[in-house]
């Protein structure tokens, strides 16, 4: 019985990995609609709420992955090809690290 539960859990995780952002968001909207209708019992409401939280976590993971894939155009190389660098958000650059754009200064350089 434990093997069946473990296999089912693994299958559900693999299925969740295949869900894209729009599908997860649509699922959340449907869950919210069901919960707001007031027609579900307590047990079913809790199950739907838990499912909604899992979908919300999945949306957050997908957004974080997309954010990591975004690049900033840093200029062009000698052949005219665009040169890209990873997007740096607030707090992503370590103190003392080199700035992302040529000619920019680090925080330590700004204070001197």
62: which 2 tokens?
A: 């997908």
Q: What is the pLDDT of residue 6?
A: 52
Cα–Cα distance measured from residue 78 to residue 1, given in angstroms and rounded to the nearest whole number: 63
Tell me the pLDDT band of 14, cut-offs 50, 70 and 90: very low
pTM, two decimals, is 0.50
Nearest Cα to Cα of residue 21 among 54, 60, 69, 79: 60
Q: What is the pLDDT of residue 80?
A: 84
The answer, yes or no, to whether residue 34 has pLDDT greater than 90, is: yes
CB contact at 8 A, 29 and 56: no
The second-level CATH assignment, the architecture, of 17-88 is Orthogonal Bundle (1.10)
CB contact at 8 A, 81 and 93: no
CB contact at 8 A, 51 and 79: no
110 membership: H or E segment, kind and range = helix 107-110
More confident site: 92 or 19: 19
The answer, yes or no, to whether residue 50 has pLDDT greater than 90, is: yes
94-110 pLDDT, tens digit per residue, is 444 444 444 444 444 55
More confident site: 77 or 86: 77
Cα–Cα distance measured from residue 66 to residue 5, given in angstroms and rounded to the nearest whole number: 32
The answer, yes or no, to whether residue 76 has pLDDT greater than 70, is: yes
């Amino acid at each position: 019985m434990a093997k069946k539960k473990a296999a089912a859990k693994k299958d559900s995780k693999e299925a969740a990995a295949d869900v894209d952002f729009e599908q997860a968001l649509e699922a959340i909207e449907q869950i919210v609609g069901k919960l707001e209708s007031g027609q579900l019992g307590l047990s079913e409401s809790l199950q739907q709420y838990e499912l909604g939280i899992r979908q919300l976590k999945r949306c957050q993971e997908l957004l974080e992955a997309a954010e990591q894939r975004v690049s900033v155009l840093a200029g062009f190389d000698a052949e005219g090809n665009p040169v890209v660098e990873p997007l740096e958000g607030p707090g992503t650059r370590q103190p003392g690290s080199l700035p992302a754009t040529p000619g920019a200064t680090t925080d330590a350089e700004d204070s001197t």
